[in-house]
């Protein structure tokens, strides 16, 4: 379904009773709402939550947000970085946080729990800093408070792929960065990748999200001001953001609860879903 939020159009799906406590799930770089396992969404609904998933701006079926004069081409961006320049962004993570607030406004949600992974965890941090009055709690998962270093651009920037290439890339990503204690079958991964490609895989959009991370400020100085109940979850086997990133967030937020999960990498798989749902339900039930 389409909805207007923060001046743009987002694609979203809404599950569970409208009068149940809402939880909004926020994806990471380049991924789409179809990457949430059905078991994960259903787990929250069965636990009594209204569960909202959506495509961030610039991915899937949500609006593309390019800006005149700002390149979205990976090679052009890398050339600027190699010349010692910081490539400009079409928007910042603060804008993406405002998208979430706009989604809540459009759905007439006063306050919600948020569960953000990776880049979505950075967005959730900004929501907790700047929009604490709209949150019940925040789950910061497989994420960091640090600004994206320019040295990581080559591994994050995307190039256009065919459907077959995209499926092969997602399979390799899951083999390298997935959750080894909770693996996905190759057939599941390939089906997910094909669906995401058919909905709208867009290298330029992914690159604009990457530039948003690059140009957004380090959040570490902001975190001690957060008084909101926060649960920090990190995988012990995360090869994209080592567990030290989650531990650092916890150290900066003494009131937060930190949980490190053995066997978890940088992917929430169907097999991992029940454990994470249980953690969140227990935590939010206390707040």
CATH number at residue 238: 3.40.50.1820
Is 287's pLDDT higher than 80?
Answer: no
Is pTM beyond 0.95 here? Answer: yes
Q: What is the spatial distance between Cα 215 and Cα 191, in angstroms, rounded to a whole number?
A: 34
Average pLDDT over residues 59-64: 98
Specify burial of residue 198 (Cβ count, 10 A radius: 0-12, 13-18, 19+).
Answer: exposed
pLDDT at residue 285 in the model: 86
Q: Within the chain, what is the greatest distance between any pair of CA atoms? A: 53
pLDDT digits (tens, 9 = 90+) for 262-273: 999 999 999 999
Average pLDDT over residues 224-235: 97
Specify burial of residue 63 (Cβ count, 10 A radius: 0-12, 13-18, 19+).
Answer: middle
Nearest to 32 by CA among 58, 65, 1: 58
Domain that holds residue 177: 2-285
Q: Output phi, psi for 101, to 5 deg.
A: -60, -40
**Tokens, residue 89:** 């962004």
**C-beta of residue 1 within 8 angstroms of C-beta of residue 29:** no
3-state secondary structure of 114: strand
Q: Bridge-partner residues for 115, per DSSP?
A: 25, 139
pLDDT digits (tens, 9 = 90+) for 88-138: 999 999 999 999 999 999 999 999 999 999 999 999 999 999 999 999 999
**C-beta of residue 235 within 8 angstroms of C-beta of residue 264:** yes
Computed from CA positions of residues 194, 52, 159, 68, in that sequence, does the dihedral angle turn out positive or negative?
positive
For 169-173, 241-245, 251-255, which range has the lowest pLDDT when averaged over its residues? 251-255
Is 286's pLDDT higher than 90?
Answer: no
Q: What is the spatial distance between Cα 106 and Cα 166, in angstroms, rounded to a whole number?
A: 33
Q: What one-character-per-residue DSSP string does 32-96 give?
A: -GGGS-HHHHHHHHHTT-EEEEEPPTTSTTSPP---TT----HHHHHHHHHTT-----SS-HHHH
Q: How many domains does the chain have?
A: 1
pLDDT at residue 210 in the model: 98
* DSSP H or E stretch at residue 26: strand 22-26
Average pLDDT over residues 198-223: 97
Cβ of 262: how many Cβ atoms within 10 Å?
10
């Amino acid at each position: 379904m389409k909805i207007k939020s923060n001046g743009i159009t987002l694609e979203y799906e809404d599950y569970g009773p409208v009068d149940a406590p809402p939880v909004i799930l926020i994806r990471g770089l380049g991924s789409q709402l179809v990457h949430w396992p059905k078991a994960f969404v259903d787990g929250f609904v069965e636990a009594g939550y209204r569960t909202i998933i959506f495509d961030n701006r610039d991915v899937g079926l949500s609006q593309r947000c390019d800006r005149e004069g700002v390149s979205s081409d990976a090679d052009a961006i890398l050339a600027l970085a190699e010349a010692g320049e910081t490539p400009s962004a079409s928007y910042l993570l603060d804008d993406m946080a405002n998208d979430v607030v706009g989604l809540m406004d459009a759905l007439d949600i006063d306050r919600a729990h948020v569960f953000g992974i990776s880049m979505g965890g950075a967005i959730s941090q900004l929501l907790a800093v700047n929009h604490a009055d709209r949150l019940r709690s925040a789950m910061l998962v497989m994420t960091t408070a640090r600004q994206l270093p320019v040295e990581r651009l080559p591994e994050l920037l995307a190039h256009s792929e065919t459907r077959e290439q995209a499926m092969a890339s997602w399979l390799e990503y899951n083999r390298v960065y997935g959750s080894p204690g909770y693996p996905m079958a190759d057939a599941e991964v390939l089906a997910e990748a094909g669906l995401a490609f058919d909905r709208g895989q867009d290298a330029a959009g992914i690159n604009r999200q990457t530039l948003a991370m690059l140009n957004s400020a380090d959040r570490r100085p902001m975190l001690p001001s957060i008084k909101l109940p926060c649960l920090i979850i990190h995988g012990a086997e995360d090869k994209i953001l080592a567990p030290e990133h989650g531990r650092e967030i916890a150290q900066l937020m003494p009131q937060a609860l930190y949980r490190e999960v053995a066997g978890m990498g940088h992917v929430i798989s169907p097999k991992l879903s029940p454990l994470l749902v249980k953690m969140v339900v227990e935590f939010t039930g206390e707040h």
